[in-house]
Amino acid sequence: EPEVTQTPSHQVTQMGQEVILRCVPISNHLYFYWYRQILGQKVEFLVSFYNNEISEKSEIFDDQFSVERPDGSNFTLKIRSTKLEDSAMYFCASRRGLAQSTDTQYFGPGTRLTVL
Amino acid sequence: QKEVEQDPGPLSVPEGAIVSLNCTYSNSAFQYFMWYRQYSRKGPELLMYTYSSGNKEDGRFTAQVDKSSKYISLFIRDSQPSDSATYLCAMNTPGGSYIPTFGRGTSLIVHP
């Protein structure tokens, strides 16, 4: 069964460093998402991406964040200058893009980001 | 008032028990309701998806939506140790961006 994959599974970085989190969405999906989950808290939406542009973003997704689909398979989240509070699990998700109510998102296993 | 409220637990039950997990919400525009299962340090996995009010059954799982009370439930029959996970409710509005609003999740422990 097709699945969303993410790399790395765990990333440790120093405060102020740039990190890039990578995702490979399901191949025939058209919509892509990033979420984060701080330990013990709920899953929070960051950004959605469709047709090579951001379609929606939350207030968390400030100028320190950017997303890119550099080729036909990868979808990346970049954090330019990491802060301690960026430590969280980051989930990528993708959706087929069907015009029907049962079209839902499929999540990857996540990247655990630890900022020291 | 938070949009989606969910008791974080943990909820500990013996194997074979019937489990009831619940969420309440405040936004009456929510029409789509989902339950995700999340194992430790893994991504959420969609379990059940319902539209509007009513019940939906899938194997040992039953999802129930009561829009008049703004209350949704997930029942697990004959619970197994492998059901031990965090269960997240999520919901969104029709015609929107398909971006769900999640609850905090309820941690379920099924002990043998």
Does the CB of B81 have a partner CB in chain A at under 8 Å? no
On average, the pLDDT of chain A sits at 92
Termini Cα distance of chain B:
38
- Neighbouring CB atoms inside 10 A of A91's CB total 27
Check CB contact under 8 Å for B42 and A112. Answer: no
Q: Choose the closest CB to A42 out of B32, B34, B104.
A: B104
Radius of gyration of chain B (CA): 13
Check CB contact under 8 Å for A31 and B46. Answer: no
Check CB contact under 8 Å for A42 and B102. Answer: yes
**Contact predicate B7/B71, CB 8 Å:** no
Does the CB of A89 have a partner CB in chain B at under 8 Å? yes
Per-residue pLDDT of B96-111, as tens digits, reads 667 889 999 999 999 9
**Contact predicate A91/A110, CB 8 Å:** yes
Per-residue pLDDT of B16-67, as tens digits, reads 999 999 999 999 989 889 999 999 878 899 999 888 888 999 999 999 999 9
Q: With the CA atoms of B4, B5, B10 and B14 taken in that order, what torsion angle do they form, in degrees rounded to the nearest 10?
A: -80
Angle at the Cα of B57 (from B49 to B86), degrees rounded to 5? 60
> Residue B1: pLDDT band by 50, 70, 90 thresholds?
low
> Residue A17: pLDDT band by 50, 70, 90 thresholds?
very high
> Is pLDDT of A96 > 90?
no
Check CB contact under 8 Å for B43 and A33. Answer: no
Contacts with A48 from chain B: Cβ below 8 Å: 97, 99
DSSP result, B31-87: -EEEEEEE-TTS--EEEEEEESSEEEEETTEEEEEETTTTEEEEEESS--GGG-EEE
Contacts with A55 from chain B: Cβ below 8 Å: 97
- Name the least confident of A26-40, B40-54, B73-87: B40-54
> Is pLDDT of A65 > 90?
yes
B88 φ, ψ to 5°?
-105, 130
Instruction: Indicate the residue type of A50.
Output: Y
> Is pLDDT of A34 > 80?
yes
Instruction: Indicate the residue type of B7.
Output: D
Selected residue of B4, B30, B47, B99 to mutate for chain A interface (largest A Cβ count, 10 A): B99
Check CB contact under 8 Å for B46 and A105. Answer: yes
**Checking DSSP bridges between strand B4-5 and strand B54-58, what pairing results, if any?**
unpaired
Contacts with B94 from chain A: Cβ below 8 Å: 101
